[in-house]
């Protein structure tokens, strides 16, 4: 997917308004500028930021429930704001981005302020210490942690109805198998629009295996 194709895809999928387009462009500008000071994205992807990062993040919305009033999206290990900032720009979700690295959290705070994203907030700290007044409708994680640690770290932020959207690379089938082995859940691998060998793992109705099950120990609330 070229950069022009990425922008056409966004317009087609989300009917991007002039204000939303300006926010996306503003975010890309801030991302590339801050990338000169800290390693937010790989140098090799800077020339393909719309396809490799913006569309790659935006496509998660195609697999998420439609945002209802006050619906909460929690993004684990947000880093540069991918996908959290993109989700906040393109949707009506109330987005919480969890990032434990101070410099990156400060960058995210600056982006939220610069783009006037009233539906976005940052939690600087470990996921295990984050709290939410209502369970997340969606939890996302892009390059955050292996499946064995990912779900246990955030299970206290979810409930039975939470949708987990987890972009994975060429080993996505292995990660899917681990999720199904460790957890009772409805799970599927949805094709990525940006990389043929990648997928988005979509998990629902996630709950711990019963104690003593043959699958072995399952993680729980940290």
94 assigned to some structural domain: yes
Provide the number of structural domains found in the chain. Answer: 1
49 assigned to some structural domain: no
Mean pLDDT of 127-148: 92
Q: Which residues form the domain of 144? A: 63-208
CATH number, position 134: 3.40.50.150
Determine contact, residues 135/162, Cβ cutoff 8 Å: yes
Q: Note the pLDDT tens digit of each residue in 97-110.
A: 999 999 999 999 99
Q: Note the pLDDT tens digit of each residue in 1-15.
A: 899 999 999 999 999
Q: What is the pLDDT of residue 33?
A: 92
What's the pTM? 0.89
Bigger pLDDT: 220 vs 40: 40
Q: What is the pLDDT of residue 184?
A: 86
Can you give the length of the chain in residues?
222
25 assigned to some structural domain: no
pLDDT for 27 beyond 70? yes
93 assigned to some structural domain: yes
10 assigned to some structural domain: no
């Amino acid at each position: 997917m070229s950069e022009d194709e990425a922008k056409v895809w966004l317009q087609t999928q989300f009917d991007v308004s002039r204000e939303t387009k300006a926010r996306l462009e503003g975010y890309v500008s801030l991302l590339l500028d801050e990338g000169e000071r800290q390693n937010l994205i790989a140098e090799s992807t800077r020339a393909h930021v719309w396809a490799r990062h913006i569309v790659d993040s935006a496509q998660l919305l195609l697999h998420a429930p439609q945002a209802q009033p006050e619906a909460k999206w929690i993004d684990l290990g947000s880093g540069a704001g991918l996908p959290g900032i993109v989700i906040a720009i393109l949707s009506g979700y109330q987005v919480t981005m969890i990032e434990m690295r101070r410099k990156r959290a400060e960058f995210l705070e600056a982006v939220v302020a610069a783009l006037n994203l009233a539906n976005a907030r940052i939690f600087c700290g470990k996921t295990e210490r984050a709290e939410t007044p209502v369970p997340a409708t969606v939890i996302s994680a892009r390059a955050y942690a292996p499946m064995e640690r990912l779900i246990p770290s955030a299970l206290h932020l979810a409930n039975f109805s939470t949708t987990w959207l987890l972009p994975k690379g060429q080993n996505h089938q292995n990660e899917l198998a681990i999720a199904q082995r460790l957890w009772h859940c409805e799970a599927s691998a949805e094709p990525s629009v940006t990389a043929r060998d990648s997928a988005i793992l979509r998990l629902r109705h996630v709950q711990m295996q019963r104690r003593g099950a043959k699958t072995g120990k399952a993680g729980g609330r940290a």
